[in-house]
Chain A
Amino acid sequence: MYRYILRRLAQFVPVFFGVTLLLFFITTLLPGDPVALRAGERKLPPAVYQEMRHEYGLDKPWYQQYVHYLGRLARGDLGTSISSGRPVIAIFKDTFPYTLRLSLAAIAIEILIGIGVGVVSAVKQYTVYDTFATLSTSVLVALPVFWLGLMLQYFFGIMLKNWTGGAFYLPISGASGPVFQDWVHLILPSITLASVSTAYAARIARSQLLEVSGQDYVRTAFAKGLSPRAVLWRHEMKNALIPVVTFIGLDLGMMLSGAILTETVFNWPGIGLTIYQAIGRRDYPVVFGGVTLVLFVVLFVNLLVDISYAFLDPRIRLGGKAEG
């Protein structure tokens, strides 16, 4: 197991250099000057322009900038935002916890409701539950995220409040106000973020369960006299869950990279919109810092997913010879 983890970590080295080098190279092709953009449509005074370009190392070739970036990274410094003058570390220290919180809430929904609905749907195949689940997951997959978010905001934030004279409602946007820390702010954005993935998770869980339910070992388990519940939880679920876990793991990685639409609609102060806006402003230190953070996070999540396989399926022995 440890050898496997070490090998996976070693694999990260070429991935890291590949991604960051490519990113640096692409920025040389991207038109737009981050320093000039600080003044919008006005021109910066020439002295200020030169000084700021020098300060951010933009007067150097991209490979030198890359070496500086690596040097800074080794010292735990991601540089300074060109558009706001803030340390990039501070920006992500502010925003990443919100992304983490939202992602975990969305993943919890995905696991509980997605897998739950999938299981019910499979166990009660061709019943009214199954039909309802199939229909609702189809609808959810087809709904654009921003539209769903808006509808939830209208219904729970405005209409419900009006109907009840202000007694019952859910917060519309997450970021502002003294009650921001209140967890109720998570409800609508996490439901919105989780919606499509929950529907997929339900469908995958259903189809996988149905597939394994026809396997020989399931028949054997029944033949041994195990109760349907025991067969489901001890035998079917463990095997059926691997593709679901893979999907949810990948999804968690995606969510932790930032959810631009959900963050925009709900004014959620996460990293997705921060990175997106930084690209628009050509704020390269923030872009590079964000990509570096996302790289590490995705690697970590993928590693966790791989390790979880071993627990779900005893046949998988990470790092063992059988793995090839």
Chain B
Amino acid sequence: MTERKRSILALVLVLVFAVALVIASGCTKAPSQGGQAAAPSGPQKGGTFTFYIGDPAYIDPYNAQETEGVQVVHQLFASLTAFDPKDPSKLVPAAAERWEANADATVWTFHLNKNDKFSDGNPVTAKDFVYAWNRIANPKTLNTATKKVDASAISYHLAPVKGYDDVQAGKATEMSGLKAVDDYTLEVTLSKPFGDFEYVVAHPALAPVEQSLVENGVDYNGTKVAFGDMPVGNGPFKMAEPWKHGQYVKTVQNPNYYGTKPYIDGIEFRSFKDPDTAYLEFQAGNLDFAQISLGKIKDAETKYGTSEDGYTANPGKQVLVGAEDSTYYLVVNNQDKALSNVKLRKAISLAINRQAICDTLFEGTREPADNIVPPGIAGYEPGMWPDVKYDEAAAKQMLADAGYPDGKGAPEISLAYNADGGHQKIMELVQADLTKLGLKVKLAPTPDFPTYLKQLDAGKVMIGRLGWVADYPIFDNFMNPLFNSKSTDNYSKFADTKVDDAIVAARKITDTAARIKAYQDIDKTIGEQLPDIPLMFYKHHHVTSSRVHDFTFDAMYLADFSKCWLSQTASK
């Protein structure tokens, strides 16, 4: 055999090997993507839902802080109440089958569902809630893996509970306001009235946990695994194996779940560092749920069809574009000499073409904000902040009224932001609009979010950017943190004792309709002063595979699998 022939033979062998290798790889089950799957007669049982998430920081409820961790915790645990996935502004029973408050909403009594069990078969009792909540409140709580102090970053949820301050200050280890009256009755006393507390307890982080498992670990194949890596909860799903950090969280049905069992066998949360890679995996048929890459939304809508309500996915109606309960806004330093002038703030707000930003940069996956409170919040009405709209003529007039006709005499406005995360382009469009108004505007980017946050904390920002994601779909979750003069999240330093007092008064109201009315009034009062300038409401831009039926991804960014089922006949 000549050298050339040997070379050709070697090349052929390499090619054969490569093809064999490719065949070997083509063996995974894959969800089908585009088009209609064969229409089955009714819900089918079985199948694992593959779900895209970013890598969570924690899946232990005590520190479920970012959307990824909360998403997993939401499937593994059930809190006292729950947001109705079809309309999160309404509550439905969860671990508590019923609950009531006293006349001034300072004492709340939750009656637990006696059928509620953890996935290990142990009953869920009031003591499990007391333990879980004290664990969150105590700044000396230990990490279950390292046994070192690892305080909860979300203890603020429990700030209304009596005794919270003492636990935070190290004067006590248990909140005096928590009482397990009996195994199935939890009494919570608040330090101040709070009519919306029933919404607070719906947060997935406030779920019950078993003390023995938290402190001693969870058995898995004969070894002990830290609770934080294999949390045991009372939700519809349970961990199938310990969390594979940076890769996946695998869950299966919880046989002891008190509610209706889901149709699907389990959920596999796959962690991706880059949502664009996840979308590629989706297109390749390897994911049932992904976030659509920017620039591809319209294409996806054409290909996969758009969900009718924006939140529920079915074959052929797979793209979810429902509004989320979160707002992107300009935070304005109200203590700045020029910006303390409400008319200047209003002129700036009126000059910004929000629709252009949404269309140009986000393909309609965000919508122009007309309030700090997004539409998903009960009581939201359009136009409550009259100056949050685009009106060039009104902006010019308002600027003149502010004492700066055509911008003459106005100080230079500085727009601060972190240059990563796509904020640069938003700020450039805002700059262009304000320049058109006649103002001198300079961009003041910082390289990343930590640097920006430092500046914001130091009060060095004239106008900056922030996003606010609701923990609970209630007015209070916007009004109190952002505009109460005592709130640490009030970066605009807005201070109005009337607003502070009105929030306290609204919190005392137990009648939901009356409370919402009170908050609407507060919202209007704040809107008249326009301490911050809302820009956009976030919207979903997610998609499901064509084998997914009746899956809901609600305005609170929580997935609901209670009715979801997967076509078992879909093409692979």
Contacts and interface: CB of A to CB of B under 8 A. Distances in A.
Interface of A: 31-34, 36-48, 50-52, 55, 80, 83-87, 90-91, 94-95, 150, 153-154, 156-158, 160-161, 164, 166-173, 175-177, 179-180, 182, 184, 187, 263-267, 269, 273-274, 277, 280-282
Interface in B441-456: 446, 448-451, 453-455
Given A55-B150, A83-B57, A177-B248, 15 more contacts: A31-B446, A31-B455, A32-B450, A33-B453, A41-B489, A47-B169, A48-B139, A52-B150, A85-B145, A175-B246, A176-B270, A179-B27, A184-B21, A184-B25, A263-B273
22 contacts: A31-B446, A31-B455, A32-B448, A37-B449, A39-B65, A41-B467, A42-B489, A45-B168, A48-B139, A87-B146, A153-B284, A166-B30, A168-B23, A169-B22, A172-B280, A172-B284, A173-B272, A173-B277, A179-B27, A184-B25, A265-B274, A267-B272
Contacts of B271: 175-176, 267
Interface stretch (B82-90, B154-162, B428-436): B154-162
B451 A31 contact: yes
B337 interface: no
A82 B505 CA distance: 39
Given A168-B23, A184-B25, A40 B145 contact: no
Contact of A176 (B247, B451, B468): B247
B281 interface: yes
B29 to A, nearest CB: 10
Contacts of A43: 488-489
B159 A85 contact: no
Nearest to A156: B22
Contacts of B270: 175-177
Nearest to A282: B450
B448 A45 contact: no
A171 B27 CA distance: 10
B165 to A, nearest CB: 9
Contacts of B24: 184
A55 B149 contact: yes
Interface in B279-294: 280-281, 283-286
Instruction: Give the interface size bracket for B toward A.
Output: 35 or more
A281 B22 CA distance: 39
B290 to A, nearest CB: 12
B2 interface: no
A269 B246 contact: yes
Contact of A36 (B21, B139, B151, B453): B453
A2 to B, nearest CB: 40
A55 B50 CA distance: 37
A36 B58 CA distance: 17
A172 B28 CA distance: 12
A60 to B, nearest CB: 16
A81 B284 CA distance: 34
B159 A45 contact: yes
A223 to B, nearest CB: 23
B457 interface: yes
Nearest to A270: B246
A161 B22 CA distance: 10
A55 to B, nearest CB: 5
Which among B170, B246, B274, B446 has the highest number of chain A CB atoms within 10 Å?
B246
B284 A36 contact: no
A175 B169 CA distance: 42
A132 to B, nearest CB: 14
Nearest to B269: A176
Interface in B239-296: 245-248, 268, 270-274, 277-278, 280-281, 283-286
B228 interface: yes
B277 A266 contact: yes
A272 to B, nearest CB: 10
Nearest to A260: B273
B465 to A, nearest CB: 10
B535 to A, nearest CB: 15
B454 A31 contact: yes
A264 to B, nearest CB: 5
A171 B25 contact: yes
B453 A51 contact: no
B197 to A, nearest CB: 18
A284 to B, nearest CB: 11
Given A43-B488, A48-B139, A265-B274, A172 B286 contact: yes
Given A32-B450, A175-B271, A177-B28, A170 B22 contact: yes
A161 B32 CA distance: 12
Contact of B57 (A84, A187, A269): A84
A167 B489 CA distance: 54
B140 interface: yes
